Amino acid sequence: MDALRVGIAGLGTVGAEVVRVIERQERTLAARCGRPVRVVAVTARSKAKKRGLDLRGIKWAKNPLAIATDPEVDCFVELIGGVDEPAGPAIEAALAAGKSVVTANKALIAKHGLKLAALAEKHGVALNYEAAVGAAIPVIKTLREGLAGTDIDRIYGILNGTCNYILTRMEQEGLSFDECLKDAQRLGYAEANPAFDVDGHDTAQKLSILASLAFGTKVAQSAVYVEGITSITPEDLRAAADLGYRLKLLGVAVRTPQGIEQRVHPTMVPRSSSIAQVMGVTNAVTIDGDGIPPITLVGAGAGAAATASAVVADIADVARGIRAEPFGRPVAKLAAISKAPMQRHEGGYYLRLMARDHAGTAATIATRLAEQDISIESIVQRQPDRAADGNGKPVKSAPVPVILITYATSEDAVRRALQAVQRDKVISGRPQVIRIEKN
């Protein structure tokens, strides 16, 4: 059978690694795919840049669009990044020209995925993006093909390595968020402008893609409720450990009686759960299928080699003629999705309040929660290190943290109870409210 002729736009660390892997795995790929896979054209911003690649015999195209429309290219691989020019139009052109497309671009799939999927469908070609979520963790393939016959109730995961790295360091070393962020930036795990990661937007983009595949809904990042990790303190991580939980930034999409709820927020997970074991930059996704025990997929969520592994597997699927609709079913059959009204969210809560007077405050808080029919699973009044004098006795004026775990209740009830507590003027500052996700 004829070789699959691959054109690659973008030769950053991932693009260069894809070229290397296809070269190194030449025989394996040919055996697996039943035909050779060959890189025939590439392009990047700078042709002169040293990449340690032997590009002899490979055409250098003047721009991504030239590869996308090159009649000698069968499969267009987009590794440029960015949601609009030049990545978006090049992918559109390639699909319109009847070429299958492979991309690692989560932002583009989250924003323009539906339009591109419709185009892929129309032309009967593949649009593969395994690397866009969780790099080499085969979560897209698992949702799109591996669980094709399973009703999914919930999917949740650690989808951002930067945040998990920061939370891991904070927990293990008792450091502040700011200290860990600085370290993460120094080590290259966080961007100079970290907001996209630490505010939860990266997780939200990935979650919106997974939710579409899991529930047959339209990809809609705007329908995701998002909270980041900047308000998390070492105190919260310590308290989590004491209470049998671990704190993770989760993306959660869940089927509720009100519809599909998509949310990203710091989350207490039971310490014994698979997801709680995932430390550092590692990513993980847990899928709860109807009637079947959870399936958890764990691995690196980033890195050139892991990302290239997924890109090459996507190319191999094209070479083999393996093709599923980009979102698992035709775009026309994807249901609309609206933003989850979080006040109707139901679940357990971790609450940390700074009590002004540590004698009566716990009782006041308990009363206010009881008024909203909220049952308390545990309540701990902690003695912070700084609130003690030289003899270890508490300093009367320093606020003392009161930490509560509630049984399942509604977010609305929690908000009302906390407003009442604030009106009572027994706490200082803003209460810390962290949702609990049971496994």
**Considering beta carbons, is residue 271 or 344 the nearer one to its own copies?**
271
Q: What is the per-residue burial (b if ≥16 Cβ within 10 Å, else e) of 273-301?
A: bebbebbebbbbbbbbbeeeebbbbbbbb
Q: What tokens appear for 247 in the block? A: 């704190």
**Considering beta carbons, is residue 215 or 349 the nearer one to its own copies?**
215
Q: Is 292 in the site for its own copies (CB under 8 A)?
A: yes
Q: Is 25 in the site for its own copies (CB under 8 A)?
A: yes
CB 308 → its own copies: shortest distance, Å? 8
**Considering beta carbons, is residue 296 or 372 the nearer one to its own copies?**
296
Residue 355 in marked binding region: no
Q: What tokens appear for 193 in the block? A: 């402008």
Which residue from 153, 179, 325, 412 is in contact with its own copies, where contact means CB under 8 A? Answer: 325
CB 74 within 8 A of CB 41: no
| C-alpha–C-alpha distance, residues 52 and 167, integer Å | 36
| C-alpha–C-alpha distance, residues 206 and 382, integer Å | 37
Question: What DSSP letter does each residue of 231-254 carry, written as one string?
Answer: T--HHHHHHHHHTTEEEEEEEEEE
Quick one: which segment of 24-32, 230-238, 390-398, 430-438 binds its own copies (CB under 8 A)?
A: 24-32
Which residue from 28, 63, 176, 231 is in contact with its own copies, where contact means CB under 8 A? Answer: 28
Quick one: which segment of 29-37, 47-55, 171-179, 373-381 binds its own copies (CB under 8 A)?
A: 29-37
| C-alpha–C-alpha distance, residues 201 and 198, integer Å | 8
CB 430 within 8 A of CB 418: no
Indicate if 62 belongs to the active site: no
Give CA 52 to chain center in angstroms: 32
Quick one: which segment of 18-26, 178-186, 224-232, 428-436 binds its own copies (CB under 8 A)?
A: 18-26
Give the closest residue to 343 by CA, choosing from 422, 408, 414.
414
Residue 191 in marked binding region: yes
Residue 144: DSSP 8-state: I
Site size with its own copies, rule: CB under 8 A: 60
Residue 9 in marked binding region: yes
Q: Is 313 in the site for its own copies (CB under 8 A)?
A: yes
CB 146 → its own copies: shortest distance, Å? 4
Residues 140-159 that bind its own copies (CB under 8 A): 141-142, 145-151
| C-alpha–C-alpha distance, residues 396 and 96, integer Å | 72
- Kindly provide the residue ranges of all beta strands, DSSP E only, lying in 66-214, ordered along the sequence: 75-78, 100-103, 127-128, 152-158
CB 188 → its own copies: shortest distance, Å? 16
**Considering beta carbons, is residue 330 or 360 the nearer one to its own copies?**
330
Q: Is 306 in the site for its own copies (CB under 8 A)?
A: yes
Task: Please tell me which residue in 111, 206, 393, 396 is annotated as part of the active site.
Answer: 206
Give the sign of the dihedral formed by CA 407, CA 409, CA 411, CA 412. Answer: negative
| C-alpha–C-alpha distance, residues 244 and 232, integer Å | 17
Residue 97 in marked binding region: no
Annotated binding residues for L-homoserine: 191
Residues with a known catalytic role: 206
Residue ranges that bind its own copies, judged by CB under 8 A: 21-22, 24-25, 28-29, 31-34, 130, 136-138, 141-142, 145-151, 216, 274, 277, 282, 289-300, 303, 305-306, 308-310, 312-313, 315-317, 320-325, 328-330, 333
Q: Which residues are annotated as a binding site?
A: 9-16, 106, 191
